[in-house]
């Protein structure tokens, strides 16, 4: 089965499905590459006028696959880390730059990097019981907070960024402006498809101009620059002793137990002794 499925729904509407449901659509390298190829193909598709992006199974996506944090202890240098992070951000910006509107239809979990993908979508429709969340353990420095600030406002973005494992329900996300609207879970896909068909009634040439006009205003206010700065802040954060200590906990305990350890008061301070296993 392809990691990214495409379905042409007719009337100019195309659906891209994140299709790694057994891993809650966590993005590994293969899936990221498949996603980029699918977006590139849409850019050349003259018949597509609106795109729906959704996840298969129980979640939209839990973000980047963290198995790389449980590797053999050989970590990339800061520059290589920055290149990898920036490349992933550019994948999401390809959605921002796509010359047709994209609707993210979010159900279940939408965590970390997956939330940044939604920020780059033109519209986001969420299930009321969805969970839009920050990673459960501190592993980065500046990817999510600065980007979410454009949608939720400064104070709420700070709170979400500072507390590991922060989250908001779909209903809260809509109230804060992170999403366009929240709908009952059983109505999510129908609402997204109905909205896409309404958008697709506008000629492609006009949709292209409307999206470009709106993007240019956001970019003149610094959106693209702030978005890409995230790679630099995270690459720096990954060199700190505290980040390395968290990665080591994940390696030793596994992700689930490392999350429990941190939630139960495990300290990442260099001077603190780790809680016994």
pLDDT of residue 71: 45
- With respect to residue 275, please indicate whether it lies within any of the assigned structural domains: no
Round the CA-based radius of gyration of the chain to a whole number and report it.
19
Q: Answer yes or no: is pLDDT of 4 > 60.
A: yes
Q: How many helices (H) and strands (E) does the chain have?
A: 11, 9
Adjacent-strand bridge partners of 55? 18
pLDDT tens digits along 70-104: 444 456 789 999 999 999 999 999 999 999 999 99
- With respect to residue 262, please indicate whether it lies within any of the assigned structural domains: no
- With respect to residue 153, please indicate whether it lies within any of the assigned structural domains: yes
- With respect to residue 128, please indicate whether it lies within any of the assigned structural domains: yes
Q: Name the domain count of the chain.
A: 1
pLDDT tens digits along 125-134: 999 999 999 9
- With respect to residue 254, please indicate whether it lies within any of the assigned structural domains: no
Closest among 82, 150, 142, 91 to 112, alpha carbons compared: 142
Average pLDDT on 135-154 reads 88
pLDDT of residue 66: 74
Distance separating alpha carbons of residues 169 and 101, to the nearest angstrom:
24
Name the residue range of residue 27's domain: 4-236
From residue 138, give the alpha-carbon distance in Å to each of 134, 235, 246, 273.
9, 13, 7, 18
pLDDT of residue 202: 97
Six token digits for residue 179: 């999403």
pLDDT tens digits along 218-248: 999 999 999 999 999 999 999 999 999 999 9
- With respect to residue 268, please indicate whether it lies within any of the assigned structural domains: no
Mean pLDDT of the chain: 92
Distance separating alpha carbons of residues 248 and 23, to the nearest angstrom:
22
- With respect to residue 116, please indicate whether it lies within any of the assigned structural domains: yes
Q: Answer yes or no: is pLDDT of 140 > 70.
A: yes
Question: Percentages helix, strand, coil for the chain, rounded to the nearest 5?
Answer: 55, 15, 30
**CATH at residue 89:** 3.90.226.10
Q: Which of the 8 DSSP states describes residue 121?
A: S
- With respect to residue 67, please indicate whether it lies within any of the assigned structural domains: yes
């Amino acid at each position: 089965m392809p990691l990214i499925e495409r379905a042409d729904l007719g009337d100019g509407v195309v659906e891209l499905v994140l299709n790694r449901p057994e891993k809650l659509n966590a993005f590994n390298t293969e899936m990221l590459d498949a996603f980029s190829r699918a977006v590139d193909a849409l850019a050349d598709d003259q018949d597509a006028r609106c795109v729906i992006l959704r996840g298969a199974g129980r979640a939209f996506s839990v973000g980047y696959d963290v198995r790389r944090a449980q590797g053999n202890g050989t970590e990339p240098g800061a520059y290589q880390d920055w290149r990898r992070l920036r490349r992933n951000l550019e994948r999401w910006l390809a959605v921002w730059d796509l010359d047709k509107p994209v609707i993210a239809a979010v159900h279940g979990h939408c965590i970390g990097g997956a939330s940044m993908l939604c920020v780059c979508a033109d519209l986001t429709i969420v299930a009321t019981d969805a969970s839009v969340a920050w990673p459960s353990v501190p592993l980065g420095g500046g990817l999510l907070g600065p980007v979410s600030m454009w949608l939720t406002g400064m104070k709420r973005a700070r709170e979400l960024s500072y507390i590991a494992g922060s989250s908001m329900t779909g209903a809260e996300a809509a109230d804060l402006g992170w999403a366009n609207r929240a709908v009952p879970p059983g109505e999510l896909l129908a609402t997204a498809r109905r909205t896409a068909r309404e958008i697709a009634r506008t000629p492609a040439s006009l949709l292209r101009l409307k999206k470009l006009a709106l993007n240019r205003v956001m970019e003149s206010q610094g959106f693209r620059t702030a978005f890409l700065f995230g790679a630099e802040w995270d690459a720096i954060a990954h060199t700190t002793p505290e980040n390395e200590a968290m990665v080591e906990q994940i390696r030793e305990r596994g992700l689930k137990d490392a999350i429990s350890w941190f939630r139960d008061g495990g300290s990442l301070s260099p001077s603190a002794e780790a809680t016994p296993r």
